Amino acid sequence: MLTTTRRRRALLRNLLIFAGFAALAVLLGVPAKAYEAQQFFANDQGQVEFVMPSGNIGCIYTPIGGTSVYETADGLAEIQCDRVEPSYIRAILGGQGEGYLLDNVGDAGCCSLTQQFDYDHVVTLGPFQCLSERRGLTCARQDGHGFFLSRALVQAR
């Protein structure tokens, strides 16, 4: 009976060691997804417009101080992104505070086709960083406030 218990413990120990090495091998063998940086040109007012490859989400970045025809709510930089389908929603993130959503947009007019934000790319615009993925668009500041837009889900934080 004592040898049976020792054998079970040794087998269990060996299985745990093997499982640990297998898990480590999987973790080390699966590289993290790398996102390539993308650059966009700004218009003469400093604004940057881009659209996702699907054509369903388009964004406009406005720098600190706004433009000659548009002032941001807090005077700081701002990014606004519009999702067209399945319902029109605008996500806005200013230079401070949380991102927020508007579903009653009076000036709906998405999306400029001048610059495409390729999937698996990231862009930094002022204090914001946006990530384009097939599953949707994420834009945030370093403090964690931002938003996520896709056909299936809309979130602001």
How do residues 3-56 score in pLDDT, each as one tens digit? 666 666 655 554 444 444 333 333 334 345 689 999 999 999 999 999 999 999
Q: Provide DSSP, 50-108.
A: EE-TTSSEEEEEE-TT--SS---TTSS-EEEEEE-SSS-EEEEE-SSS--EEESS-TT-
Q: Smallest Cα–Cα separation from 99: which of 89, 88, 109, 107?
A: 89
Does pTM top 0.85 for this prediction?
no
* DSSP state for residue 142 in the 8-state scheme: T
Per DSSP, what are the bridge partners of residue 102? 90
Residue carrying structure tokens 């370093």: 142
- Tell me: the pLDDT tens digits for 129-156? 999 999 999 999 999 999 999 999 999 9
Q: How far apart are CA 147 and CA 130, in angstroms?
A: 10
Contact present, 103 and 89 (Cβ < 8 Å): yes
